[in-house]
Amino acid sequence: MLFEFGVRTEFLTEIPEFTRFFWLLAVIIPVSPIVLEFQGFYNHPLRKKSGESLRQVTVSLVWLALIFGLCVIFLKWSAQSRSVILIFLGLSGVRVLHH
């Protein structure tokens, strides 16, 4: 067993280089504004409560995760590291909320 800072690390694998994940950008750039629009994220942004924005972004991230999963399954796009997809979705959600 390999321990690093008190955490088991033998199950961790190396994350591939970023160029293998450009397809994420090809999906997220055209699709995310459409998904956010369907959730009503752009309706009355100055009068909306932050909790409503958080709900809309969270539902949109679930839809985007589903779309990414469908791309991996049906289009046979490679997902060498599922954690990168989850981190990508999480960071993009935080970025949208802080904009």
Q: What are 16-75's pLDDT values in tens digits?
A: 777 777 777 788 888 888 998 999 988 887 788 888 888 998 898 889 888 888 888 888
Distance separating the N- and C-terminal Cα atoms of the chain: 43
Comparing 39 with 2, the larger pLDDT belongs to 39
pLDDT of residue 61: 86
User: What is the number of helices (H) and of strands (E) in the chain?
Assistant: 3, 2
d(CA 79, CA 43): 34
Per-domain residue ranges of the chain = 17-97
pLDDT of residue 1: 47
pLDDT of residue 50: 80
d(CA 89, CA 35): 13
Instruction: Report the relative pairing of strands 7-8 and 3-4 from DSSP bridges.
Output: antiparallel
Say if residues 96 and 42 touch (Cβ distance below 8 Å).
no
pLDDT of residue 54: 86
